[in-house]
Every structure is written in structure tokens, then in C-alpha cells.
Amino acid sequence: MRPDWRAIARLYTAGAGRHDVSMDSDIARRKQHLPHPYNLDLSNVLRGLNRRTPFGRRRAANHPSTATFLRAAVWLIQRNLGPDGRHDIADPDDPDSLIRPLLSFLSQQAVTKAVRHIPAGFDRTAKVSMLRNRWRRQSDFVADVLRFVLWAWHYPAPHKDEMAGLTGEILHGDDPVPAIHRLCYWDMSRHLDSPMFRLSLVAVAQAEGDPVIREAISERNAENGALWKGFYEQFLNARGLRMRPGVTLDECVSLFAAVADGLAVRALADPGGVIDDDEQRCLLSKAALALIAGCTEPAGRPEGPPLEQAVTTLLKGAST
């Protein structure tokens, strides 16, 4: 997914006078030089912007100042949710009296103050009035921040090159198992090092009764699931496998994603037994091997029994 800079330039220059054309072309160039994923088209991601027309919403979504507020919010997420996030103590005499702010750290004033901490290239002159001009309500801003940071173009989409060597070994190597161990360790480490994963946990905790957050999480799951499903399909074809009757590839994608998230949650609080940094191994790889062993079968052989029947036969055989 590469940005269409000509389209972005047309977005800013359409219907403008001579002076505005020059000004908006400069804005488009500034957008182009922002780091990934802030340089991408965000018009389908940011839906709470205070604009009446589709053109106005697209223009505001892709304005560099909008990217500035998003980057400042990400800086606050990294600072408050970790890893190595800030932990404020309410009572100096009680080290356990931590202040747990959830999403209150994304206030308009805090985001605007954070602007001075973000990298060069963003608009560091952004003010509270500019933020309020884009999002009429604070809840709209927080919802758009959630949509943005849960976007698949944060993870795993931009890391395909990092995974290429490992995925190549899994698909075509003589012994794919060691590569499966390393890829799962890499994925688990990414979860634990990502403040965005921590934010997703906060979002999940607040999702019940909040359709905006639920929609953002649902879209994140669908986008990430589609990316991983494509790799799983490649794996089945490359290794001459098919899904066992009684379980679908979509179900396998959901199962593995749930196991990965669950193990990451466990490792945040109690990493022992979940991840081994010395050996670069983790329980996620054993889950992957178990799913392969239990949910697939050779494609060139007669169809085996459905999953439930296979387990029933196994259990009856073990008890006799």
C-alpha cells in the first residue's frame, strides 16, 4: 500500500485559487515526508473529524497538523503504557500506590504539550484550538486515535521485510520447525515491546457498550487476520497440506491470534514459562506446531476423519 502523492496533491489543490494551490501543494509535500504510517491516506481511518463534507474530511484527515496530533498521542501512549512506561505514585510513602490513568492521559492539553517531544518533520506549532477544530468532542479524538493505532499498517503490515527470511524458511526450507520457533518468538517479542498492544488491552476492557471501540477492534482483527491468512494459505500449498475436516482456515487464524494475544497478556505480568529470551523460544511456537499437527493433513491422501472424530478415537483408544 503505497501513498498516491498525485492524488493527495489533487486533494489539496482541487478548487483552490492560485495562492491556495501553492500553499496546499506545500502541505502535500510535507505529508509526503512524514514517517510511516503518517504519510499514508488516513481518510478511511479517521472518522470522527469535525467536517461536513467528504472532501473536507479527507482534507483534514491528510493534513500534516492532523498527523502531528496523532503522533503526539502515540508519544503519550508510549510514555504511559510502556514498555518502560511512566508510573506515577500517589503516595510517596507507599510505592504500591500507583496512579492508573487509563486513557485520561490523552487530554487535549496533554496532547498539545506532547507535540514538542515528537520527531522533526511534524508541525510543532500545533495548538489546542487546532485540535478542537478537527475534533468537536474529546471522545471523537480518542476514538480516532484508537482506530489509527490499531490499524494493521502499524503491525504486522510494515514488518513483512523483517519476517521475509523466516517465512521463506517456513515455506520452502528443508526443516521449517526451527524457523517456526524463531518467527513465533519474533512475533511474541513484538507484542511485548509494543505500547500499541497495551493500548489494545485498554480498548478491549472498555469495548463493552462502546460501539466505536468495538468497531475499531473488529476492523483490526479483520485486517490482521487477512494478512496472516494469506501466509497460512501459502504454507498449506507449499507443504502439500490441507485443513482437516471439521476445522476451517478462518477458524485456525482466529484460534492462533487468540492464543498469541493471550500468551502476550500472560507474559506481561508473568513472563516465566511463556518466553525464553536466551533460547529465543516461546510457548506460541508450540501452539503453532499443535495446530499444524491437529488441524491439517496431507493433501495427497484420502480425507481423514473430522477433528472431533479423531479426538474421540484417540481418547477411546487411550482408555482401552
Is it the case that residue 14 has pLDDT exceeding 80? no
Is it the case that residue 98 has pLDDT exceeding 60? no
- List pLDDT tens digits, range 63-82: 999 999 999 988 888 777 65
Is it the case that residue 17 has pLDDT exceeding 50? no
Closest CA to 197 of 55, 307, 315, 85: 85
CA 280 to chain centre: 23
Closest CA to 30 of 38, 19, 42: 38
What domains sit in the chain, N to C, each tagged with a CATH number? 5-149 (no CATH), 157-319 (1.10.357)
Listing DSSP states for 135-170 in one string gives -SSHHHHHHHHHHHHTSTTTTTGGGHHHHHHHHHHH
- List pLDDT tens digits, range 135-182: 888 878 888 888 888 776 665 555 666 677 889 999 999 999 999 999
Asked if 195 contacts 77 with a C-beta cutoff of 8 angstroms, the reply is yes
Q: What proportion of the chain, given as a percentage, has pLDDT over 90?
A: 34
- List pLDDT tens digits, range 303-319: 999 999 999 999 987 76
- List pLDDT tens digits, range 228-249: 899 999 999 999 999 999 999 9
Is it the case that residue 10 has pLDDT exceeding 60? no
CA separation for the pair 67, 62 (Å, rounded): 7
182-204 average pLDDT score: 84
Question: How confident is residue 2, by pLDDT bands cut at 50, 70 and 90?
Answer: very low
Is it the case that residue 206 has pLDDT exceeding 60? yes
Is it the case that residue 287 has pLDDT exceeding 90? yes
Average pLDDT of the chain, as a whole number: 81
Asked if 145 contacts 125 with a C-beta cutoff of 8 angstroms, the reply is no
CA separation for the pair 162, 46 (Å, rounded): 28
Asked if 57 contacts 49 with a C-beta cutoff of 8 angstroms, the reply is yes
Closest CA to 81 of 23, 10, 153, 146: 146
Question: How confident is residue 83, by pLDDT bands cut at 50, 70 and 90?
Answer: low
Per-residue confidence (pLDDT) for residue 195, from 0 to 100: 79
17-43 average pLDDT score: 72
CA distances from 172 to 186, 230, 237, 289 (A): 19, 16, 11, 17
Is it the case that residue 262 has pLDDT exceeding 70? yes
Closest CA to 123 of 79, 70, 75, 80: 70
Per-residue confidence (pLDDT) for residue 130, from 0 to 100: 92
- 165 against 282, higher pLDDT: 282
Closest CA to 61 of 152, 140, 119: 140
Q: Which residues contact 132 (CB under 8 A, 6 or more apart)?
A: 108
